[in-house]
Amino acid sequence: MLKKVLIMLTLGSILSSCATYKPSNVSDLCNILSEEDWYEAALESQEEWGTPIHVQLAIMHQESKFNRTIRPEMEWFLGFIPVGRPSDAYGYAQALESTWETYVKSTGNWNAKRDEFDDAIHFIGWYTYNTHKKLGVSKWDAKKQYLAYHEGWGGYKRGTYRGKAWLLKVSDKVKVRSLDYARQYKRCRAELDDSLRGWF
The DSSP bridge partners found for residue 77 are 81
Contact assessment for residue 14 and residue 173, using Cβ atoms and an 8 Å cutoff: no
Distance of CA 91 to the CA centre of its chain: 9
CB distance 97 to 104 below 8 Å: no
Positions of E strands within the chain: 75-77, 81-84
Cα–Cα distance between 32 and 10 in angstroms, integer? 24
Reported confidence tier of residue 159, pLDDT bands at 50, 70, 90: very high
Pick from 65, 116, 111, 72: which is nearest to 90 by CA? 72
What is the per-residue pLDDT across 34-64, written as a single tens digit (0 to 9) for each? 988 999 999 999 999 999 999 999 999 999 9
pTM for this model (two decimals) = 0.85
Are 164 and 156 in contact by the 8 Å Cβ rule? The answer is: no
Amino acid residing at 179:
L
pLDDT in tens, 83-123: 344 455 899 999 999 999 999 999 999 999 999 999 999 99
Domain residues of the chain, as ranges?
A: 23-64+116-199
